[in-house]
Structure 1
């Protein structure tokens, strides 16, 4: 059985052959008689050409049938995969919501427990189901005023404190301007083909 891309090549070859058949005229032998590619005399060149065209159409129908069947099967498989993907996406969304809820509950209860232990001066609780302890984490930086810190860093040549980023292009605005026939260099509008399966 041919692969789908091989059938596509067959289509191209077949259409090339159609041109050859349409432009065909027989060679002749030493006596001036029309002959085929194997040197056999052709009694009726017109009928011979019609026969070649009929054979071409039969081949086309065979390839079309096989191609369409393969394309349909692949499209059906794509639809099946899409349905599975949608189910997984919905499950992922639902699971993420559930996980986020659990994470918020965890943080809330940990904060409550930490505050309660600090309130009664307990650093550790050792129980059969859990060992709970308060530890001193490594210091983390807290920026009190971002804008003032940025200004200070720039004024004092402390660029190593700052992360400079290139401006980002607002493609939606540029696209709108292009649609309004504004002449903008370094961009162009382009349409691409896509496959739809229903």
Structure 2
């Protein structure tokens, strides 16, 4: 039987309890039977939840380990690229072609460099606003939450407590 079906049976028993022609002992026995089955079902689901969480944690740790490995390989590759480029420049080679690889020194696209951001923003604000972006204001949710917890009333803001299932 599915978990929701037990809830339906509980509701049916509540309605039956209002009918005085059914002996209370029969209702109690039925309720106890349903209650035991319901708790057994919830216990089984809790075991599945724990197993899923353990699997997720193991995957998370594996992702972290693989990410660390990936980063080490990327750093090594970057170091080897830099070393190779320095050595090719030192001997005056721009391109080396072999049966397996073509290694060449290529010019990068020009990168933007702004010497003093504050001075540039001040200049752009005066008459060149196309060179700057204004960010929309953001709500400081931590400050709002703390103010509400302290008893302040803020328009359009409230603390809402929800529920969660705890499985230990």
TM-score range, shorter chain: 0.7 to 0.9
Q: Per-residue CA shift, 1:95-136, capped at 9, x if unaligned?
A: 112212221222222122112212222111123443211122
| Aligned-partner Cα distance in 2 for 1:117–1:168 | 50
Unmatched segments (≥5 aa) in structure 1: 25-48
Quote the residue 2:139 is aligned against.
Answer: 169
| Aligned-partner Cα distance in 2 for 1:61–1:74 | 20
Q: Per-residue CA shift, 1:14-62, capped at 9, x if unaligned?
A: 22332x22xx3xxxxxxxxxxxxxxxxxxxxxxxx4x532222222122
TM alignment of 1:17-36, pairs within 5 A = 17-18=16-17, 20-21=18-19, 24=20
Q: Per-residue CA shift, 1:114-168, capped at 9, x if unaligned?
A: 1221222211112344321112233332333322222222212433x32322222
The 4+ residue runs of structure 1 with deviation greater than 4 A are none
Alignment partner of 1:133 out of 100, 104, 108: 104
Q: Per-residue CA shift, 1:45-84, capped at 9, x if unaligned?
A: xxxx4x5322222221222122112111111011001111
* Higher relative contact order, chain-length normalized (CA < 8 Å, sep 6+): 2
| Aligned-partner Cα distance in 1 for 2:15–2:118 | 69
Alignment partner of 1:118 out of 89, 98, 102: 89
Q: What TM-score do you get using the length of structure 2 for normalisation?
A: 0.87
State the SS of the aligned residue for 1:137: coil
Quote the residue 1:182 is aligned against.
Answer: 152
Aligned pairs, number:
168
Structure with the largest fraction of helix: 2
The higher radius of gyration belongs to 1
| Aligned-partner Cα distance in 2 for 1:143–1:116 | 31
| Aligned-partner Cα distance in 2 for 1:95–1:173 | 38
| Aligned-partner Cα distance in 2 for 1:100–1:17 | 65
Quote the residue 1:102 is aligned against.
Answer: 73
Alignment partner of 1:142 out of 80, 93, 113: 113
State the SS of the aligned residue for 1:132: strand
Q: What TM-score do you get using the length of structure 1 for normalisation?
A: 0.75
Unmatched segments (≥5 aa) in structure 2: none
Instruction: Give RMSD over aligned pairs.
Output: 1.9
